Amino acid sequence: MRYEYALLPSPDQYACMVDLLSRVGRLKAAYELINSMPVEPHAAAWGALLGACKLHCNIELGVSCASDSFTEQLELQFLSDEIDIAITDHGENQRLEV
C-alpha cells in the first residue's frame, strides 16, 4: 500500500492487521507489526494481541505485552469509556425523573 499507492496505513488499518494475524495464531508476527508501526499503536491493536495471547495460551507474550508502555493507554481508554457510560446513564436518569 505504501509503495504501490503512496498511501500510509492508518492506525486502524494496523490494528486490523494485528487482529487478523492474532486470530490465526501468528502472535509473534502481530507483536513485531505493533513494534514496527510508524505511529503510536492504540488500544485496539494491543487489545487484539492480548486477547489472542489468552486464546492461544501464550502467557509469555501476554506478559511482555503488558508493559507500562501501553497499560497506561489502555487505562485511559477504559476510563474514557466509563465516563461516557456514566454520562449516558445520568442523562437517561434525568429523562426518567422529568
Nearest to 52 by CA among 96, 86, 44, 36: 44
Give per-residue pLDDT as tens, 76-88. Answer: 565 555 545 555 5
Burial of 94 (0-12, 13-18, 19+ CB in 10 A): exposed
Amino acid symbol at 44: A
pTM above 0.85, yes or no: no
64 vs 77, which has greater pLDDT? 64
